[in-house]
């Protein structure tokens, strides 16, 4: 009896030693992630160059879909389901949707976009290398670099044996730069994905600084002001019968907007176009119009088109109430009305404890890897973006995980290729850490 026990113990101890020794030699998933990213830098740099050279201005539907099809191939190589959706219902090229149906950890939505602001008639069509790392090209930072980082990140997770377990959905819209209409259809794939997800990660380029990400974005919506006055000879202006005219009334309204709201933090409201005179015509499809008037005639009509950007729904509601009140307090013999975009525009992405948690985790990962600290972007420096449509639908969201660069939306747009692996490492390790939580 005692011999048998000793024999079993003797046999078990070497087995235990071998098992523990084998385990100690296994490479941790985080190390495999970093190894994959280092090994694949050239591949994803070349992929970025390839898709930057495909014109995908929002209204170039063929080009947008060409970029989408090329990236669809890459998602399928990772074993993900991927396809392009139609966009006819909202007048655009459609979107790319890719999914991975794992069961471990939270459901993660990754957001990109296929389109750029550079249409086929732009002079800016191909990339050039300004040095060994700085690429100048249409959409390299906004946001084809971010699209490539999404793929680069998922490739590293796959190589580390992590991706198969993750529940991931990727939405790359085809109309971020110029949204289709109605907006509810244009953004339906995105809002549906947000309703499904727990966490949203946006791969825009934030403010171009790799030391920052976005925890809060201001929303953006349009407004239209129409003002009417009594047309008359200018000698009768201010009289009881004629009043002040449409242009004076408009100046009162705009100045009151400024006086009452300009000191509100993170709120802006900009009149971008104004037409006034005896006759006014405006073509919304061209964002252009004409006005006729004479210096000796009191103005009859004024049209103003503008936008408003707010950091929260509460701030937006407050601003609308104040602007509407100001518009109603008319000068004598004049009238005015203000209307706000009935589709609502881009909603604000307000900061939250969940967003702050993601920032803290992302910053910790970055510092652990010797990649520097990361802080949040001032909302004044973060324009509206697709991630805003996840507001109120996910538990936590951050944006700005894409490629750092400069001068986006201009023919001087650049991206730093050396930051591709840096951003991929941060994002992949973030998703790996999140996969172990629920």
Phi/psi region, residue 304 (left: phi>0; alpha: psi -120 to 50; beta: rest), is beta
% of the chain at pLDDT higher than 70: 94
Q: Out of 16-30, 209-223, 287-301, which region has the weakest mean confidence (pLDDT)?
A: 16-30
What is the arithmetic mean of pLDDT over 165-174? 97
Domains of the chain: 29-217+349-435 (3.40.630.10), 220-340 (3.30.70.360)
Residue of 155, 142, 143, 189 lying closest to 170 (CA atoms): 189
Phi (first) and psi of residue 351, to 5 degrees: -65, 155
Q: Are strands 268-277 and 414-416 parallel, antiparallel or unpaired?
A: unpaired
User: What are the tens digits of pLDDT across the range 24-35?
Assistant: 346 899 999 999
User: Which pLDDT score is estimated for 437?
Assistant: 64
How confident is the model at residue 8, as a pLDDT?
34
The 3-class SS string of the chain reads: CHHHHHHHHHHHHHHHHHHHHHHHHCCCHHHHHHHHHHHCHHHHHHHHHHHHCCCCECCCHHHHHHHHHHHHHHHHHCCCEEEECCCHHHCCCCCEEEEEECCEEEEEEEEEECCECCCCCCCCCCCEECCCCEEECCCHHHHHHHHHHHHHHHHHHHHCCCHHHEEEEEEEECCCCCCCCCHHHHCHHHHHHHHHCCEEEECCCCCCCCCEEECCECEEEEEEEEEECCCCEHHHCCCCCCCCHHHHHHHHHHHHHHHHHCCCCCCEEEEEEEEEECEEEEECCCCEEEEECCCCECCCEEEEEEEEEECCHHHHHHHHHHHHHHHHCCCCCCEEEEEECCCCCECCECCCHHHHHHHHHHHHHHHHCCCCCCEECCHHHCCCCHHHHHCCCCCEEEECCCCCEECCCCCCCEEECCHHHHHHHHHHHHHHHHHCCC
Q: What is the pLDDT of residue 27?
A: 80
pLDDT at position 426, please? 98
Segment 286-296, tens digit of pLDDT: 889 999 999 99
Q: At what angle do helices 145-159 and 61-77 cross, to 10 degrees?
A: 10
Q: What is the pLDDT of residues 63-102, one digit of tens each?
A: 999 999 999 999 999 999 999 999 999 999 999 999 999 9
Count of residues in the chain: 438
Asked if residue 60 has pLDDT above 70, the reply is yes
Percent of the chain with pLDDT over 90: 87
Q: Provide the mean pLDDT of the chain.
A: 92
What six digits make up the tokens of 94? 């459609």
Per-residue model confidence as pLDDT tens digits over 381-391: 877 899 999 99
Question: 350-389 pLDDT, tens per residue?
Answer: 999 999 999 999 999 999 999 999 999 999 887 789 999 9
Cis peptide before 143 (omega within 30 of 0): yes
112 contact partners, CB below 8 Å, separation of at least 6: 143, 146, 147, 150, 170, 171, 172, 173, 203, 402
Q: What is the CA radius of gyration of the chain?
A: 27
């Amino acid at each position: 009896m005692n011999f048998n026990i000793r024999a079993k113990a003797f046999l078990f101890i070497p087995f235990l030693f071998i098992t523990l020794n084998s385990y100690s030699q296994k490479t941790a998933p985080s190390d495999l992630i970093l190894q994959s990213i280092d090994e694949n830098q050239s591949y994803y740099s070349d992929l970025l160059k390839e898709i930057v050279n495909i014109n995908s201005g929002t209204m170039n539907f063929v080009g947008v879909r060409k970029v989408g099809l090329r990236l669809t191939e890459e998602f399928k190589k990772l074993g993900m389901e991927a396809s392009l959706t139609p966009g006819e219902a909202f007048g655009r090229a459609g979107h790319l949707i890719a999914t991975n149906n794992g069961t471990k950890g939270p459901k993660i939505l990754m957001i990109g976009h296929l389109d750029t602001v550079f249409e086929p008639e732009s002079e800016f069509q191909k990339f050039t290398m300004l040095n060994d790392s700085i690429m100048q090209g249409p959409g390299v930072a906004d946001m084809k670099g971010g699209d490539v980082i999404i793929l680069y990140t998922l490739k590293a997770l796959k190589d580390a044996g992590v991706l198969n377990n993750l529940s991931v959905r990727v939405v790359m819209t085809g109309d971020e730069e110029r949204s289709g209409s109605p907006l509810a259809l244009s953004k339906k794939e995105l809002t549906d994905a947000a309703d499904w997800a727990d966490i949203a990660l946006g791969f825009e380029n934030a403010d171009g600084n790799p030391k920052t990400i976005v925890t809060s974005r201001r929303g953006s919506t349009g407004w239209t002001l129409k003002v009417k006055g009594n047309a008359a000879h200018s000698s009768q202006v201010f009289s009881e019968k004629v009043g002040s005219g449409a242009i004076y009334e408009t100046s009162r309204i705009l100045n009151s907007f400024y006086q009452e709201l300009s000191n509100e933090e993170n709120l802006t409201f900009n009149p971008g176009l104004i037409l006034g005179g005896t006759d006014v015509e405006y073509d919304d499809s061209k964002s252009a119009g004409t006005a006729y008037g004479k210096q000796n005639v009191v103005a009859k009509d004024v049209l103003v088109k503008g936008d408003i950007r707010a950091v929260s729904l509460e701030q937006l509601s407050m601003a609308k109430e104040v602007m509407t009140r100001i518009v109603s307090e008319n000068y004598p013999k004049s009238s005015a009305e203000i209307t706000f975009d009935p589709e609502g525009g881009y909603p604000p992405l307000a900061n939250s404890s969940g967003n702050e948690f993601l920032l803290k985790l992302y910053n910790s990962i970055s510092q652990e890897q010797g990649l520097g600290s990361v802080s949040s972007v001032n909302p004044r420096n973060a324009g509206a973006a697709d991630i805003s449509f996840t507001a109120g639908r996910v538990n936590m969201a951050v944006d700005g995980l894409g490629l750092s660069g400069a001068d986006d939306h201009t023919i001087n747009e650049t991206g730093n290729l050396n930051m591709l692996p840096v951003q991929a490492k941060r994002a992949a390790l973030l998703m790996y850490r999140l996969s172990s939580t629920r």
